[in-house]
Amino acid sequence: MGNEEEMQKIIDYSGREFRYVGTRTVRPDGFDKVTGRANFGADFTANGMLFGAVVRSPHAHAKIKSINVDKALKLDGVKAVITGKDFPKLDVNDKMVGEVVVSYYDMGNNVIAREKVFYDGHAVAAVAATSQEVANAAARLVEVEYDVLKPVMSIAAATKKNAPILHKHVRTGGVEPAPTKASNVANRAEFKLGDVDAAFAKADVIIERDYSTQTVHQGYIEPHACVASTTTDGSVTIWCSSQGQFMVRAYVAKLCGIETSRVKVIPAEIGGGFGGKTVVYLEPLAVMLARKAGRPVKMVMNRAEVLRATGPTSGGIARAKVGAKKDGTLVAGEIELTYEAGAFPGSPVALGCMTGFAPYNLTDVRCVGWDVVVNRPKAAAYRAPGAPVAAFAVESALDELAQALDMDPLELRMKNAATEGTQAPYGVKFGRIGYQETLEAARQHPHWSAPLGPNQGRGIASGFWFNIGGTSSAEVMVNEDGTVIVATGNPDIGGSRASMALMAAEVLGIDVARIKPLVADTESVPFSMLTGGSRVTFATGKAVIEAAQDAVDDMRRRAAKMWDVDIDQVEWENGCAVCIESDQHKPLSIADIARKADKTGGAISGKANINATGAGPGFGTHICDVEVDPETGRVTVLRYTAIQDVGKAIHPSYVEGQLQGGAVQGIGWALNEEYVYDQNGTLRNTGFLDYRVPVASDLPMIDTVLVEVPNPGHPYGVRGVGETPIVPPLAAVANAVSRAANRRLADLPISPPRLLAALSKG
Amino acid sequence: MAKVVLPLEVARTFADGVTEHAVDGGDIRQIVRALNQRFPGISDRLSQGTAVAIDCEIYQDWFLEAVSADSEVRFLPAIEGG
Amino acid sequence: MSKHHVSTTINGDPTEFLCDTRQTLLDCLRDELNLTGSKEGCGTGDCGACSVMVDGRLVCSCLMLGVEADGRRIDTIEGVASGDTLHPLQRHFLEEAALQCGICTPGFIVAAKALLEHNPNPTETEVRYWLAGNLCRCTGYDKIIKAVMNAAAEMRGA
């Protein structure tokens, strides 16, 4: 299998020594996961539980004329049926106005249709019955009369003159003067620096091209599932897997018209999310059914429902233009992105605009983004939302530029790399970042100089993601025997509990085996923003470090009491309270102090409720080798190396795992994945056979290099790592195929039929 | 006076397309109030889905962050994640 | 509609249950027997999260009816460990971080165990093709393949 050392590498720029952080411990929740004991969303049962089923629209675009539930209600075993009318009416201006604008009107409409349906699979009613079979039969008995409208399935169809309008109240935002007519174009965003037209005039070489990508799904293996239970006093309990139990609570409370304090959400283990579980689908339905039936209701989606009716990410088109001097200095960059928002406004096109050119030092750049609604499911976040498609365009254009300049594409990037002080296209100057270091690591990597054979090509591409901080809370509780519990409010998608334990261990000075990290429900820990945005190891980690420090300070106070000295005589070393001056006082371990906790003031704990700022951006550079089969159009990925600035890898194995997982999702996006709709707007590939994600036999090992340029905004140098890995692969793969095939592939996925068509063009 | 940079769309709606403004204020709240005096209604608009970067540091939930006389205050779209 | 009575052996234990004709073996394991370690990822035999052994053969339990289990021996993820002692595959998955969210892990372990019983010294390619019926969206498969090969080496006494 080759040189292990070479394949998984860490390049540390901090020179800092840690005792526990950076070690590869066994994750604390692992035993349950390898034995099948861990409880995911569909694994709960409640006493007297009923089973729910959803009635879904077979039409992509239609008015609901009537819904008749009589036959369904009469079926033996059916206990409740709900439609949109059972939910509180929402106002078109109903928004959660906070950092991100969430339209409750749109969300409520998406969860269950009101007057119109907007995509094949849109929920219109739901039933609860004594068995899944009866619930499914009852769902088939609900009679819905539709007034079928012409579906709008693409950006071209949506923006054509006289296109059917999805939403009468939507006017294009971001344009002046504000339009008065309804449109399918929901928003325009623009970011610019300098004077891009004047700058292009100075270029020796200009590359300009159009690109396209298709709708792809996050593809988590666990379908959405929940159990909801209500009591006659109005309390609601929900067991579900999600990326945020507090998010589920907030959205359910709002959409069902219940006070927040009456809703308790208990997080199950989550079987993948990637952004797709940062919203709710089944929970409000299960709650309303449970209320009506007076019994708990379990709802589980099947795979077809997941693909038809949960947020994929936006497909889109992009035009990228780059200009450079003969020596490879970039002088100007421009992109125009148009993304499909799906059934309701809100694609991540603005984020695409902000991230596309971020790895490069450009004083003149313009990025314009359009958000367009179409009759597809409402787009939900997918790992670095908006960035992969923008990077596909920019990184492909740079590859073509390198070819035009007869320049090594890595050297082209090196020459123009963003560094500390570079102004990003969205105007903010970078602090300490590690992009150049990833390029340097790529240059040194044996992959970059390995020989290639016939029909083979090598692609390189870079990518950027901001990473966020946000509100996180942590409690560190010391047990009577000196072991410790670390409670946080963030679902663990990728192994974050292991990292929380490692960070607490570093502060407390004790082995992770004595630390139990747990993910608490909404009534057991203060509010935490959801798991996403690559924020948990950074922000929740910061909270854990501060809470552990708080606990250490509490234990120092207790030790001072036990020794009858001043607190400033007490230091903390190697998991013990140590008295500075006196030889009479032997060090006290956590267990020693805990044993006397009742006498020294009560239970020992520390806490931290923070809104973490100082998140450091992540840059990645990926190298991909492919072989093209000119007869079948099949692309085989021969070799793949993912290099990323990760700040500080708290648990290197799980950081490597993020790079590998994100890279493979990107490979799937580039080569095979796409939604296929027929002319009626019905989704044709509703299962994993035809929605083709990468399988083990498609891939080689994914080598990784963790570059550690510490983020000054975190005590241990942590940068978010989860999202950046999906940003470079689309272009890394496309650039490799383009070089192998000796022509530019600009339309994804590069599936065999598309590649054969491109090759046949001579 | 801090240098305030507005998002293009906000500038076009409220400030005749001018994105850069010199504004007095010791913290973000004061800056936004001062902006609202100049461009009525802008504070509501800026409270919706906007983050702010003060010099290099991005704040998603801004409120009372300190701003000094030579700070650059830049309003940006809020960043979600996946 | 009356239910069918099924007699099987599950993880070595004689087991009986009642089921509807339409219930798959996966449904029966999860809903009738409370053995929720096998997962439904797709219901169409494409993801392998429901992998079990039926009379020593690797099967997607979502593609088999509960009634078809009558008289057969079924082995699930719950029977892989011996009491408190993990199977080498389970241990290697843990030590080598071959799982992130963990939803596909039971299926992979059952499938990999079947491979190693049939071929104790597989090449990387053989492992990848055998496990092509098990989807993972989190790991990119790299650490899974390594864990299986290292477990195989340990089991061979290599």
| A669 touching chain B per CB within 8 A | no
CB nearest A100 (choices: B9, B47, B80): B80
pLDDT digits (tens, 9 = 90+) for A368-407: 999 999 999 999 999 999 999 999 999 999 999 999 999 9
pLDDT digits (tens, 9 = 90+) for A698-734: 999 999 999 999 999 999 999 999 999 999 999 999 9
CATH class of C88-155: mainly alpha
pLDDT digits (tens, 9 = 90+) for A152-205: 999 999 999 999 999 999 999 999 888 999 999 999 999 999 999 999 999 999
**Interval C40-64 mean pLDDT:** 98
Fold of B2-75: Ubiquitin-like (UB roll) (3.10.20)
Straight-line distance from the first to the last Cα atom of chain B, in angstroms, rounded to the nearest whole number: 37
Tokens of A239: 């067991």
Q: Range with the lowest mean pLDDT among A87-101, A191-205, A325-339, A699-713?
A: A87-101
Contact B5 A427 (CB under 8 A): yes
Q: Are C80 and C113 in contact (CB under 8 A)?
A: yes
**Residue numbers in C near A270 (CB within 8 A):** 101
User: For chain A, what are the domain ranges?
Assistant: 42-149+223-270+277-309, 316-467+616-760, 470-612
259-288 in A: which are within 8 Å (CB) of B?
Answer: 274-276, 278
pLDDT at residue A95 is higher than 90:
no
In the structure, do chain C and chain B come into contact, i.e. share 3 or more CB pairs under 8 Å? no
- Which of A249, A268, A245 is closest to A260 using CA atoms? A249
- Which of A613, A636, A638 is closest to A623 using CA atoms? A638
**C-alpha R_g of chain C:** 16
Three-state secondary-structure class, residue A613: coil
Residue span(s) of chain C under CATH 3.10.20.30 come to 4-78
What is the structure's pLDDT at A176? Answer: 86
List all chains that touch chain A, counting a touch as 3 or more CB pairs closer than 8 Å.
B, C
What is the structure's pLDDT at A97? Answer: 58
| A97 touching chain C per CB within 8 A | no
pLDDT at residue B68 is higher than 70:
yes
| B55 touching chain A per CB within 8 A | yes
Per-residue pLDDT band for A1 (boundaries 50, 70, 90) equals very low
Contact A221 C137 (CB under 8 A): yes
Work out the minimum CA distance from C138 to partner chain A, whole angstroms.
Answer: 5
Q: Range with the lowest mean pLDDT among A90-94, A575-579, A744-748, C121-125?
A: A90-94
| B8 touching chain A per CB within 8 A | yes
pLDDT digits (tens, 9 = 90+) for A615-636: 999 999 999 999 999 999 999 9
The DSSP secondary structure of C122-154, one letter per residue, reads --HHHHHHHGGGS--SSS-SHHHHHHHHHHHHH
Per-residue pLDDT band for A98 (boundaries 50, 70, 90) equals low
H-run or E-run covering A638: strand A635-645
Largest CA distance in chain B: 37
**Residue numbers in C near A37 (CB within 8 A):** 37
| A431 touching chain B per CB within 8 A | yes
**Interval A300-308 mean pLDDT:** 98
Work out the mean pLDDT of chain A and round it to a whole number: 96
What is the structure's pLDDT at B47? Answer: 87
Query: How much of chain C exceeds pLDDT 90, in percent?
Result: 97
| A669 touching chain C per CB within 8 A | no
Can you give A315-344 as a three-state secondary structure string?
CEEEEEEEEECCCCCEEEEEEEEEEEEECC
Among C105, C110, C141, C145, pick the best mutation site for testing chain A contact (most A Cβ within 10 A).
C141
CATH class of A42-149+223-270+277-309: alpha beta
Per-residue pLDDT band for A2 (boundaries 50, 70, 90) equals very low
Per-residue pLDDT band for A237 (boundaries 50, 70, 90) equals very high
| A697 touching chain C per CB within 8 A | yes
pLDDT at residue A8 is higher than 80:
no
What is the structure's pLDDT at A94? Answer: 82
**Interval A120-128 mean pLDDT:** 98
**Residue numbers in C near A42 (CB within 8 A):** 30, 36, 39-40
**Interval A207-215 mean pLDDT:** 98
Contact A688 C42 (CB under 8 A): yes
pLDDT at residue C158 is higher than 80:
no
pLDDT at residue A48 is higher than 50:
yes
What is the structure's pLDDT at A4? Answer: 52
**Do the two domains A316-467+616-760 and A470-612 of this chain adopt the same fold?**
yes
Q: Range with the lowest mean pLDDT among A156-160, A581-585, A751-755?
A: A581-585
The pTM of the full predicted model, rounded to 2 decimals, is 0.97
| C21 touching chain A per CB within 8 A | no
**C-alpha R_g of chain B:** 12
Q: Which one has a higher pLDDT value, B50 or A663? A: A663
pLDDT at residue C85 is higher than 50:
yes
Q: Provide the CB-side half-sphere exposure for B21 (13 A, CA).
A: 22
**Residue numbers in A near C36 (CB within 8 A):** 36, 39, 42-43
pLDDT digits (tens, 9 = 90+) for B26-63: 999 999 999 999 999 999 999 888 999 998 889 988 89
- Which of A269, A255, A258 is closest to A236 using CA atoms? A258
CATH class of C4-78: alpha beta
Among B60, B64, B72, B74, pick the best mutation site for testing chain A contact (most A Cβ within 10 A).
B60
Helix axis angle, C142-155 to C105-118, nearest 10°: 40
CA–CA separation, C136 and A358 (whole Å): 31
**Interval A113-142 mean pLDDT:** 97
pLDDT at residue A273 is higher than 90:
yes
Tokens of A15: 């020179």
* Identity at A327, one-letter amino acid code: D
CATH architecture of A316-467+616-760: 2-Layer Sandwich (3.30)
CATH class of A470-612: alpha beta
Environment class of residue A679 by beta-carbon count within 10 Å: exposed (0-12), middle (13-18) or buried (19+)?
A: exposed
CA–CA separation, A162 and A187 (whole Å): 18
pLDDT digits (tens, 9 = 90+) for A470-515: 999 999 999 999 999 999 999 999 889 999 999 999 999 999 999 9
| A534 touching chain B per CB within 8 A | yes
